[in-house]
Amino acid sequence: MVEFKSLTAIVPFYNEEVYIEESLSRLINADLFSEIILVNNNSSDNSVRIVSKYLLDYSHITLIHAVEKEGKGYAVLEGIKQTTSTHVIVHDADLEYSPVDIKEMLEIAKMHPNDLILGSRIKGNKVRKNIYFYTYLINRLFSLLFSVMNFYKISDISSCYQINSTKSLLNMNLRENGFAMEVEILSKHIKTNNLVREVPISYSGRSYKEGKKIKLVDAIRIMTTMLRHSRLNIFFG
């Protein structure tokens, strides 16, 4: 059994100079985190300079640098290894997610510290805008397939808002370096027989012109990760 004591926000970023300051300000103003760990995934723009000015004023903010540019999952895992909190949540630096939604997720995590608390962009009536048809369709299809292959209904498998226990994540031996990490975590968590509790969250998507980074190759990787870690395990044995 895991006891809830504290929550860390892990913020992986790569070339987010346009959004990173506002994203960090929102996390600070939410006042929900014992730590905020910023993970620079080898940015070449001004992102590091922008966030560095916060380090002196906020003792609970830490900046670490990923040794290699291996992808979002790699950066997140580097942050998980550094945290001192009992629980963590990943916050993308691109303003698509709102930290305001974490408060409700946090209350549920305190009551059910062994469960995974998932922020769903599908359930409920939260404000959602700039939803792009193809990414929405693929996510809905993949979520359906995931639910069938794991005998466990999940509405939104690619949401980055997951509150997990740090101990559980470290015991998962996570291997996915990219955007498929969320699916790997969900798959491995379900096999522990602990619950996934979904909480409706808001969402404001950005376009590829604005810097959205997930690509077709990531969708393929997510699919292969689903197959590899599913309870059916159809193709990978």
Taking only the tens place, the pLDDT of each residue in 202-234 is 999 865 565 455 667 878 888 888 888 887 774
Q: What is the pTM of this model?
A: 0.92
Residue 120 scores a pLDDT above 90: yes
Q: Between residues 136 and 37, which one has the greater pLDDT?
A: 37
In 180-215, alpha helices (H):
181-190
Residue 39, strand partner residues: 12, 64
Question: What fold, for 7-229?
Answer: Spore Coat Polysaccharide Biosynthesis Protein SpsA; Chain A (3.90.550)
Residue 184 scores a pLDDT above 60: yes
Q: Cβ contacts of residue 59 below 8 Å, gap of 6+?
A: none
Residue 230's pLDDT is 86
Write phi, then psi, for 113 (nearest 5 degrees): -70, -15
pLDDT tens by residue, 129-171: 877 778 888 899 999 999 999 999 999 999 999 999 999 999 9
Residue 84's pLDDT is 95
Residue 236's pLDDT is 47
Q: Percent of the chain at pLDDT above 90?
A: 72
CB neighbour class for 151 (10 Å; exposed up to 12, middle 13-18, buried from 19): exposed
Q: Region 75-94: what's the mean pLDDT? A: 95
Residue 6: both structure tokens together: 């504290």
